[in-house]
Structure 1
């Protein structure tokens, strides 16, 4: 059953989009790779969603963050990525420091061809922990990212460090 025209894309729709996009060899090959820092190209996602093609040099990562009210999906095209996430829902506003309970950490390895979808307020960090190999991934979010909250983490203490808005990364 295809989604209604104009309806918001679901997590499954976004995951399907990143899978189809990852299969576009010409697009993937067009991404410039830098040996030092991540590179990216903004893509047009399905039905008003935001999408990105991202290159990850060895040893790079996002740091802990969430995507606020957006749902999302991403897929590793080449190389491998590691996702550390929190299996708990954080309060959305009104805090700066939070003590996490034991057992909330989740680690997932995503080799080439593997991806995942996630819901609103999903807190994670994505890393290319290879010492030698670039990774490439495709990401999609809906609604387009209204903000990203960035966190630092020391043991079980998570601290809100910064709130970014779209104008900060355009």
Structure 2
């Protein structure tokens, strides 16, 4: 786990957003991503200041499921198509729970068309979806520090349940 001093020396969420916007506007980079009609595709990019960055392709109807990026700040921008982000406008406890009952009014939804993006802080719980039935979407993502873990959740109405904690070795 990184210390606060390490996190302070890396890029901010705003700097990551500037980076993903620049990359998303580069048609040559975006076009270099192989797209698969069956599943998401991705290519790792060199992010600024030691950050982790990805170019991701989203076939119609795909999504991430509810998750957070633990202790990392991040940003993403849609480079092609439209993505929808569902998120929670609440600070959740970071550890020590398995199930939470969410209060009314904390759900947020935003559509991010080509060129639109957002930055987010640590422990931001969200789900990203390509709801199109015919169009691929492509996006650029960056995180700092490089993802130490991703927590995956299930959601049933107001109940949010921690299902799994993934670490980088799980993605290799």
Aligned-residue CA RMSD in angstroms? Answer: 1.0
- 105, 127, 130: which is aligned to 1:128? 130
Match of 2:67 in 1: 65
1:64: Cα distance to partner?
0.1
Q: 2:25·2:115 contact (CA, 8 Å) conserved in 1?
A: no
Q: Deviations over 1:97-127 (max 9, x none)?
A: 1000000100000000100000000000000
1:16 corresponding residue in structure 2: 18
Per the alignment, residue 50 of structure 1 pairs with: 52
State the secondary structure of the residue aligned to 2:9. Answer: coil
- Which consecutive segments of 4 or more residues in structure 1 shift more than 4 A? none
Measure how far apart 1:7 and its partner are: 3.2
Could you tell me which runs of 5 or more consecutive residues in structure 2 were left unpaired when the two chains were aligned.
1-7
Structure 1 alignment gaps of length 5 or more: 1-5
Tell me what 2:4 maps to. none
SS of match in other structure, 2:111 = strand
How many residues end up aligned between the 2 structures?
165
Who is 2:149 aligned against? Answer: 147
> Quick one: which of 135, 151, 161 aligns to 2:163?
161
- Counting only pairs closer than 5 Å after superposition, residues 68-87 of structure 1 correspond to structure 2 as 68-87=70-89
Superposed displacement of residue 68, structure 1:
0.2
1:79, CA displacement in angstroms? 0.4
Q: Distance in 1 between matches of 2:115 and 2:168?
A: 29
Summarize the alignment of residues 104-119 of structure 1 with structure 2, pairs less than 5 Å apart: 104-119=106-121
TM-score by length of 2: 0.94
For each residue in 1:14-61, what CA deviation from the matched residue of structure 2 results, as whole angstroms up to 9, or x when unmatched? 000001111222111110000010000011100000000000000000
